[in-house]
Structure 1
Amino acid sequence: MDLLTLIGLAIGTAALLGGNFLEGGSLQSLLNGPAALIVLGGTIGAAVLQTPQANLQRALRLGKRIFIADYPAFDSGIKQVVNWAVVARRDGLLGLEPLADKEKNRFARKALLLLIDGNNTQSIRQTLEIDLIAQEQRDNNAAGFYESMGGYAPTIGIIGAVIGLIHVMQNLSDPAQLGPGIAVAFVATIYGVAFANLFLLPIANKLKQSVSADSLFKELIIEGIVAIAEGENPRSIELKLQGFLPRN
């Protein structure tokens, strides 16, 4: 479980509810079932309408990264590549076959197989970069599903407020109902803006950062495999790949 995600959600929610309380409001004033239905249903419906099925399915799978940190371990990746280099220098490229068979990472397995098959460095780099770019594009499109919801939510909230005001206008003959009715109408706007800016847009940005980290890790694999194919010393490969490590 990603603790920072929970902390961020807790701080945002506490700030919203705390500010409402300090202004003299109550929790009851922010609870409105019809407004929630309009905002949630309308936002999800609009986002689903614009999203191809493949991207929608991928977005749902990618969504698990919201609460479960899934960033690649660059230090372990470097050690793994250096180990490949040591095995290749000691046993030749065919000595990497057992490692390729056991490799769980699809991209790393593909890289090893290209190396074992004796492809030249240009062909290896080109093939892997095509894979990287295509995968990154698919994942960014999936993250865009949440970003699109963040764009629709405030507008759907305004629609909900207008619907509420229509009902208020129908009760103009009863002035006592105007104040509470208008307050309830604008709850939909709060839902839309809060849902977008406290949840959906941060989620989309977080997923895009995760996708970017995955792509950077794949670049590490590419550079390592190409270096092995060129016969570089394992120690030199390690020093080169250390540039991928995050710096504080």
Structure 2
Amino acid sequence: MDPATLIGMAIAFGALVGTLAMEGSTISAILLPAPMLLVFVATIAVGIASGTIRDLMLAVKALPRAFVGKPPKPHETIDQVVAFAEKARREGLLSLEQEADNEADPFLKKALQNIADGTDGEELRNLLEDEIATRTASDRVAGKFFTTLGGFAPTVGIIGTVVSLTHVLENLSTPGKLGPLIAAAFVATLWGLLSANFLWLPIGSRLRRLSDLEAQRMTLLMEGVLAVQAGSQPRLLGERLRAMVPANALPKLSKAA
């Protein structure tokens, strides 16, 4: 688990609470049910309206990944592929069928099974590239959904403020109530901005980042297993795969290996 999202959101909301305290206010001043109901419910509703039900289902399914998703470790992927190369060099490509049977990752399982079945290298590359493209497109739908919510939320907040201000104008005859009513009116705008920048946009960006990292892992696997099929020497294969990964993504031990 990578806690970056949880840590970032906790600090952001902590800064908000700290600011309220320094201004002599409390968190209860902005926890008003009416504007929060409009901002959150209406934002999600227009987000659903801007896409499809399938988009919503993908976004809901992907939401936990934004908080508990574990970024792949390239050095582990490289070590795994090098181990396949060593086994194929000792026992032949047919030995990878046993590895495919024990593999939990559907992408890698499919690649190893096709190698054991003798699939042509170019055909296998096309198959795996299509698999990566499809997976990436599906993952980005979820990220785009939350980014779209981040775009709608501030405008919905302004709508809530306008609605509340109409109520303020109805009470011009009672000046004593105007201050609290005006303050409450702007809470909707506040929650529109907060939800966009503290929730929806970070979640969308996080999901896109995880999608990019997963696509990199799958590409690394694809190049690795294709090299194994071509009979690449394990040590050279490991060096080639490490050259495809940014240095800061590899531990010192793996870089020195």
After TM superposition, is the score higher than 0.5? Answer: yes
Partner of 2:68, secondary structure, is coil
Q: 4+ residue runs of structure 1 moved beyond 3 angstroms? A: none
Equivalent residue letter for 1:113: Q
User: Which aligned pairs between 1:165-244 and structure 2 lie closer than 5 A?
Assistant: 165-244=165-244
Whether the 8 Å CA contact 2:72–2:214 is kept in 1: the answer is yes
Equivalent residue letter for 1:177: K
Partner of 2:173, secondary structure, is coil
User: Which aligned pairs between 1:53-64 and structure 2 lie closer than 5 A?
Assistant: 53-64=53-64
User: Which aligned pairs between 1:20-169 and structure 2 lie closer than 5 A?
Assistant: 20-169=20-169
When the two structures are superposed, what TM-score results if normalisation uses the length of structure 2? Answer: 0.92
Count the aligned residue pairs: 248
Partner of 1:232, secondary structure, is coil
How far the C-alpha of 1:243 sits from its partner, in A, is 2.3
How far the C-alpha of 1:53 sits from its partner, in A, is 2.2
Equivalent residue letter for 1:166: T
Q: 1:69, 1:57 → 2: CA distance?
A: 18
How far the C-alpha of 1:210 sits from its partner, in A, is 0.2
Q: 2:41, 2:227 → 1: CA distance?
A: 52
- Taking only the aligned residue pairs, the percentage that are identical comes to 38
Q: 1:51, 1:2 → 2: CA distance?
A: 29
When the two structures are superposed, what TM-score results if normalisation uses the length of structure 1? Answer: 0.95
Unpaired segments of 5 or more residues in structure 2?
A: 249-257
Cα deviation digits, residues 127-185 of structure 1 (max 9, x gap):
10011011101110111111111111111111111111011011111111111101000
Unpaired segments of 5 or more residues in structure 1?
A: none
How far the C-alpha of 1:24 sits from its partner, in A, is 3.0
Whether the 8 Å CA contact 1:74–1:244 is kept in 2: the answer is no
Equivalent residue letter for 1:109: K
Cα deviation digits, residues 168-209 of structure 1 (max 9, x gap):
011111111111101000001000100100111011101100
Q: 2:12, 2:216 → 1: CA distance?
A: 30
Whether the 8 Å CA contact 2:142–2:204 is kept in 1: the answer is no
Whether the 8 Å CA contact 1:88–1:96 is kept in 2: the answer is yes
Quote the residue 2:251 is aligned against. none
Equivalent residue letter for 1:88: A
Whether the 8 Å CA contact 2:2–2:71 is kept in 1: the answer is no
